[in-house]
Structure 1
Amino acid sequence: MHGTSSPMGLPPELLREISCRLHDPADFVRFHAVCKPWRGSHDPTTATTTDYQFLPWLLAPSKPGDDPLKLRCVFSGRSYRFPPPISATMMNGVTSADNTNIRYFTDSPLSPTLHEPVAGGAFANPPLSPHIDRLGKNPSGIIHNDGTLLLYSKYSKCNSSDLYTTEFSASLLHPGNDEWTFVQRTLETPCYGEFYAMYHAGKIIVTMYGNLWLVVMTPSTAATNKDDLLVPMPLWTPRKHDGYYCEYSYVLESRGELLWASVHIKMDYPYQDDDGKGVCGLVRALWMSMHVLEEVTEGSNKLQWVRKDDKSLNDRLFFLGWPNSFSMDASRLGVSGGFVYFLYCDEQGHRQPHERCGVFKYNLIDNMTEFIEWLPQGWDYEMCTWLIPQPTIAPIHQVLVTTPRSNNMIHIKTLCP
């Protein structure tokens, strides 16, 4: 397998075409490890792995005392492990908006840092917020595509039998700026648990179970509540889907729009299992809806959630997780679109000895749910992150080496790091 041509006689153009169709990162690495011509079909000087589109893997939440971080490709059924970050916990992940990288906030003895355990795209960590002490020991966050960094934390407590209060703190840094903007709010919700934050269209978006808050981030309003907006949640149950209630909801940005994806389940679930595994009944019980945030009238400050035409989403794939959900262009993966991948923890399957977390795929066009797999122990539906691996292929170096022979010939050695 040495030489300048492929062992199968394949030209470089064809090798590169084949390589671009490998959407499993493990297959991509194996392909380029076959021989030097196949390895050389990926030229780091003219292309990077960002030219390729890889299927995301699930990253299990890390908890204090965990062994290596666990990654799983649900499309191939393979699991992988990485050395754990220092003092990482499930609550302090800082993801990139496109989910190609994740960092963990670590409160080291010298200074707080963002620790990167999984190799990804190059990103220079900015100096962390001077308000880091006010954010607590385990802030989460998102590094948005324009470089804006949002760090936030929350602390919830129950004030009465039907009301929870959440103290929300956030620090925002725009690219090229040296000064962070800090904001703090007290939010009330009738339910504890569901909570997401992101930066969109110049605002910090805070979503909780019953409502959506828009916190306008300008120097003149960051310290006040006067420009905060409260938007009611979407209507969950159109007439044809009576008998469902909203189980989980996610807010994500896709092609400039803010979408609210919600997972519903039938109120009379569980069914009598007809496969002995508690899968078919759950699949029939799950349903999804998509809404988009729009102005009530153009130029007004009033916003509303409008049901999104599912057919307009048939060229995209959606991956719902925490702390960030995202969409992908289906054509770049060579597959049809209109599918949503999400996790659901079955707490009511009466034939199961304990609750299990599974991966499901929902068809927005046909309104059908498909079961993918039950996840191994350690994956939790609330805290799982979808991560798109970015494998690197080291270039082949040619080095001129003069050997002490009588004819003083120069020999060329090809080195594969």
Structure 2
Amino acid sequence: MARSQPIARSPDWSVLPPELLQMVARKLPDISDFVKFRAVCTTWRSSACVSDPPPQLPWFLETAGYFNRKNLRFYSLLSGKIHTIPSPNSSGNWLRGPAHDYIILYDTTRCQISLFNPLTGRKVFLPFLDIAWLWHKETVKPVWVGPDPIESGEPVVLLGYSLDFRTGILALYQPVAREWVVIEEPCLCSLRCCYFNGMCYVHEEVTGDTRVIDTVIRKVVHVIPPPPEGDYECNALRGATYLVQSGGDILLVVLHCYDFCNVYLEMADWHFHIHRLDLRSGNGKKPRWVKISSIGDQILFLDEDNGFSLSCRDFGEFRGNSIYFIIRRYDQSLSFLCRYDIEEARAEPLYCPSEKGGTWIVPSLR
């Protein structure tokens, strides 16, 4: 009688060393892969802690149609996949970004602002902000919503207008004290603003000046004139302007278009001019903008109003010195997702799951 062949056994993946599992988990820059990794078994789940996830690439979040929204749609640049997540908390509310981990959610029925994790559904209610203008959703923009503001203690910064549109108001939520700090300045009547290390940088679209506000003493400490006219000149029909914190630098990023109304036809004529803010003064020198030709290993992610920066060192599949941006036609009819290679000075269209607009969020399970 012939001997029976031994039955091949599947390897027991649960016995892999924890340090090896942790190394593999740290190499998963798309959170959907991180979730699948954790679902393999108990050992893998304990080796991939949601409180210490690998660096994540932003997802494009569709924000249009908030009144009847039952699901949220995300698009992953890394996988090229669309993810749909049920989100009853977002129905009838508006969402604002860009953001890390938590996006700004405004409950239109209760006049309540929250930090909202669209992946987990976790909602953190912020104290009531008793300023009437804040409830006009079109006039409120996030300036800074950093990584895990609940645990990090970093402020959440919003920018808006007064009801008469003559004065701008900067509102900083302090997570430790659980209270708002409000700064009112005429120079804040702008949608181009960024925050870094207690300083708020506000770009005045009319004059081109940039004002630096110390949020501790609540005063303007610098007024920086615009770059030379040939490097900066821009108007609503021919481009867009952004202020972005990138690797510790404050950047003035200006998109020049031949014809903004025909944004999808003239992409070959698009160019970004980038300036770094040099705040060093002395020897007769004043703070100024310095034009640069590279942002190194940084990648900028811009929506229609604001943006943030990440390092490509955490994402081997993506090149640095580039800009991913969402732009809307001047007539507000269509939005486009594009990538700009700074070294080659070349823009290219990317697949966009929504023509009605969206923003960026760094996904998180926290």
- Fold conserved between structures, TM > 0.5: yes
Matches within 5 A, 1:106-255: 106=107, 109=110, 112-114=112-114, 116-119=116-119, 127-129=127-129, 131-133=130-132, 135-138=134-137, 139-141=140-142, 142-144=144-146, 147-154=154-161, 166-174=166-174, 176-177=176-177, 180-187=180-187, 195-210=191-206, 211=208, 212-219=210-217, 227=220, 229-235=222-228, 237-238=230-231, 247-255=239-247
1:33 corresponds in structure 2 to 39
- Distance in 2 separating the partners of 1:136 and 1:167: 16
**Residue of structure 1 equivalent to 2:341:** 363
| Separation of aligned partners in 2, 1:199 and 1:346 | 27
Pair member with larger Rg: 1
Q: Is the 8 A contact 1:107 1:137 kept in 2?
A: no
Aligned-residue CA RMSD in angstroms? 4.1
Show CA shifts across 1:84-130 (max 9, x none).
4264225xx3665xx22213133654x7341525146999655344x
Q: Choose which of 233, 237, 256 in structure 1 pairs with 2:248.
A: 256
Q: 1:291 offset after TM fit, Å?
A: 1.0
Q: Relative to 1, partners in 2 of residues 1:301 and 1:184: Cα closer, same or farther, differing over 3 Å?
A: farther
Q: In the alignment, is the contact (CA less than 8 A) between 2:141 and 2:158 conserved in 1?
A: yes
- Cα gap change, 1:86 to 1:41, in 2 (>3 Å): same
Structure 1 CA distance for aligned equivalents of residues 199 and 285 of structure 2 = 13
Query: Which residue does 2:6 correspond to in 1?
Result: none
Counterpart CA distance in 2 for 1:116 and 1:299 is: 48
**Residue 324 of structure 2 is aligned to residue 341 of structure 1:** yes
Instruction: Provide the C-alpha distance between the structure 2 equivalents of 1:31 and 1:363, rounded to a whole number of angstroms.
Output: 33
Alignment coverage as a number of residue pairs: 342
Query: Residue type of the partner of 1:233?
Result: P
Q: TM-score, normalised by structure 2?
A: 0.75
Out of 370, 385, 397, which is 2:359 matched to? 385
Match of 2:161, as an amino acid?
A: K
Q: Deviations over 1:24-75 (max 9, x none)?
A: 2122222332445544542x3xxx4544012211112244513133322244
What is the TM-score when the length of structure 1 is the normalising length? 0.67
DSSP 3-state at the match of 2:13: coil
> Is the contact between residue 82 and residue 118 of structure 1 (CA under 8 Å) also seen in structure 2?
no
Q: Which amino acid aligns with 2:309?
A: S
Q: Is contact 1:120–1:389 with CA below 8 Å preserved after alignment?
A: no
Q: 1: distance between equivalents of 2:97 and 2:329?
A: 27
- The one-letter amino acid of 1:29's match is V
Which residue of the partner structure matches residue 85 of structure 1?
90
Question: Gaps (5+ residues) in structure 1?
Answer: 158-164, 271-277, 349-353, 393-417
Distance 2:314 2:247 in 1: 15
Could you tell me whether the CA contact under 8 Å between 2:303 and 2:359 is conserved in 1?
Answer: yes
What percentage of aligned pairs have identical amino acids? 18
